[in-house]
Amino acid sequence: MARIVAEEDALEEACRRLAAGEPVAIPTETVYGLAADATDGTAVARIFEIKGRPRFNPLIAHVADMAMAGSIAVFTPLASRLAGAFWPGPLTLVLPVREGSGIHPLVTAGLDTVALRNPRGFGARVIARLGRPLAAPSANTSGRISGTSAGAVNADLGDRIGMIVDGGPTRVGLESTIVKVEGDRLLLLRPGGIAAEEIEAVAGVRLERGASGVQAPGMLASHYAPDAPVRLNADRVRPGEALLAFGPRRIANADAAVKVLNLSQRGDLKEAAANLFAHLLALDAVGAKAIAVEPIPAAGLGEAINDRLARAAAPRQDSGEKGS
């Protein structure tokens, strides 16, 4: 089982593990989070692996203060007002991500926005000491109840993680409220630990409902698809195609591909997950007729990788392109 360490004794060890790319379960005021360095794609991929049956939905990037938040996202006056009123606390703001933010694409799920939260207590302290934001979805197996105590986390994930920081029962016990800020508009993406009325009282504008598509955690999945059609489980490269490869062996005619990028030369699914979004974007940028994708095992993180690729290859409403 995991090593459980009291919050007051855990800071240095937690930072060492996080800096080494190891996820750590930490207490926040909402629920316990499974935290990893949000700038390290392999560490973030490990979160999905630990939680099981993963899906590439956006994750919240947790920050230590407004200075760190401002280096990651673009704040409007309204967003700054909300952060000033509710941070640190259970409010997540979805904002345009800054170029060069350092946030890994697995955290944003390839979107041009990022979900940010400034937690209270141990979470803020460990982020400040580490000097990097943390991705931290709830510390539970996918589909199970979120853990609100170290014991609950240990019973669920204790055989899959090395350390749980024990901060006692969480204060809020409900995930954060997620709000997207678009200029002077506010869109409620997920209700949570702060009531909509409280947010509206500070903002002076109505909190709109009815968001569609995946823009934050807790919403229906709808993932980034490149402009180029995507052809799955390819057995050869066709003229004009780019190739998204996997493992040490290539399919027929790979040498003729416009460009080849390998998710993992050694066939490591965790490395492949970390590279997926960046590689798709890079291949899309070369102007190929299509992106051929070599077969990828469906076990473990391969389930999430194949799920993401299937959505990328789905028929396009604007063109009817099947992409396969």
pLDDT at 64 over 70: yes
- One-letter amino acid of 275: N
Contacts for 141 with CB less than 8 Å, ≥ 6 apart: 51, 52, 156, 157
DSSP lists the bridge partners of residue 117 as 62
Sign of the dihedral defined by the CA atoms of residues 212, 213, 219, 221, in that order: positive
Strand arrangement, sheet containing 230-231: 230-231, 290-293, 241-245, 260-262
Output the pLDDT for position 322. Answer: 30
Residue 39 · residue 135 · CB < 8 Å: no
Contacts for 209 with CB less than 8 Å, ≥ 6 apart: 187, 188
Residue 66 · residue 162 · CB < 8 Å: no
Output the pLDDT for position 270. Answer: 86
In angstroms, the CA 189 to CA 114 distance is 13
**Residue 262 has what DSSP assignment?**
E
In angstroms, the CA 128 to CA 270 distance is 27
pLDDT above 70 covers a percentage of the chain that reads 91
39-62: average pLDDT: 89
Residue 205 · residue 189 · CB < 8 Å: no
In angstroms, the CA 274 to CA 104 distance is 8
Residue 306 · residue 296 · CB < 8 Å: yes
In angstroms, the CA 17 to CA 23 distance is 7
The mean-pLDDT minimum among 53-57, 62-66, 120-124, 211-215 falls in 211-215
50-78: average pLDDT: 91
**Residue 252 has what DSSP assignment?**
B
Contacts for 112 with CB less than 8 Å, ≥ 6 apart: 96, 97
The angle subtended at Cα 244 by Cα 106 and Cα 51, nearest 5°, is 35
78-102: average pLDDT: 96
Render pLDDT for 147-195 as a digit per residue (tens, 0 to 9): 889 999 999 999 999 999 999 989 887 789 899 999 889 998 888 888 8
pLDDT above 90 covers a percentage of the chain that reads 68
pTM: 0.80
In angstroms, the CA 25 to CA 166 distance is 9
Sign of the dihedral defined by the CA atoms of residues 224, 140, 44, 67, in that order: positive
